[in-house]
Amino acid sequence: MTSTPIVRLENVRKQYGKVVSLKNVTLEIGANEIVGLIGDNGAGKSTLIKVLTGVEQPSSGTIYVRGQKIDAASYSVKEAHKLKIETVYQDSSLGEKQPLWRNFFVGRPLTNRFGFIDVKAEKRIANEIMRSTIGFRGVGIDVDTPVSRLSGGERQGVAIGRAMHFDSDLIVLDEPTVALALKEVNKVLDFIRSIKAGGRSCIYIEHNIHHVHEVCDRLVVLDRGEIALDAPTASLTYTELTDFLMSLHKPAVAAAN
């Protein structure tokens, strides 16, 4: 069980019209591994995640999940969910006007044979997740509260709680700490540690290099659609990492001049 990676991308390329977002990316995420994904805006992080989670189809290349080749044309978010891959987006995975209970189950509601939703069961489970997993024992927040009334941290909590409930093997966190207060950031970091403790894997995308260096097993740096670095965190100190990232900028600046 040790050797098969959960996900393997092989020579993946993604192009939007003439713009090449990903050139020939090969990347593996192993079992029970926390991988930090670093890169500037426009380096291709979001595109990589979209391809990995079935939101966008790659222009070319292959995706393997647990060693099995995935048919790129039919790979979708639903398919990714079935393969136990979950994504927590920084801001855009919750319906603002919809109540919390719908947001927990949207896309895969608990329904009977005719497609009617078991609202009672969904509300009960949503309530349990909120109380136990996320630790909302909040004033004024319950399962009927619309997302628009939640703070940034609370929203992140809902999205993370949803990923945990669906018992995924790989959780992708897309800049989960953007717009969060310091106390709430620590909660998110604790959650990432609990992913590791629970034997699951995680891809953690983050701007704050300090956080990445603190919780990740391995670091992957993307630069202009290519992997510039792929190394165990232990092999680099925090200073070495920042120096490396700075060095990526130099040629670009020189070229611009």
Query: Where on the chain is the footprint of another protein (CB under 8 A)?
Result: 54-55, 76-78, 81, 87, 89, 92-98, 102, 106-109, 111, 115-117, 119, 123, 140, 142-145, 148
| Token digits of residue 255 | 């070229």
Rounded distance between C-alpha atoms, residue 211 and residue 217, angstroms: 12
Indicate the residue among 76 and 247 with the shorter CB distance to another protein: 76
Nearer to another protein, 140 or 199 (CB): 140
Question: Which is nearer to another protein, 95 or 198 (by Cβ)?
Answer: 95
Q: In whole angstroms, what is the distance from residue 35 CA to residue 216 CA? A: 6
CA-to-CA distance for 228 and 236, rounded, in angstroms? 14
Phi-psi region of 169 (alpha: psi -120 to 50; beta: other; left: phi over 0): alpha
Q: By C-beta, is 34 or 159 nearer to another protein?
A: 159
Supply the minimum distance, in Å, between the C-beta of residue 93 and another protein. Answer: 5
CB 15 → another protein: shortest distance, Å? Answer: 19
Query: In the beta sheet, which residues pair with residue 219?
Result: 36, 231
For residues 70 and 228, which CB has a smaller minimum distance to another protein in the complex?
70
Angle at which helices 182-197 and 152-165 pack, to 10 degrees? 10
Q: State the nearest-atom distance from the C-beta of 52 to another protein, in Å.
A: 13
Is 66 exposed, middle or buried, given 0-12, 13-18 or 19+ CB atoms closer than 10 A?
middle
Tokens read off for 174: 């897309």
Smallest separation, CB 94 to another protein (Å): 6
Q: Are 175 and 90 in contact (CB under 8 A)?
A: yes
Residues sharing a CB contact under 8 Å with residue 105, sequence separation 6 or more, in sequence order:
117, 122, 126
Q: Which is nearer to another protein, 102 or 211 (CB)?
A: 102
Q: Cα separations (Å) of 27 from 56, 100, 139, 221, 229?
A: 17, 35, 44, 11, 11
Q: How far is the CB of 139 from another protein (least distance, A)?
A: 8
Minimum distance between the CB of residue 192 and another protein, rounded to whole angstroms? 20
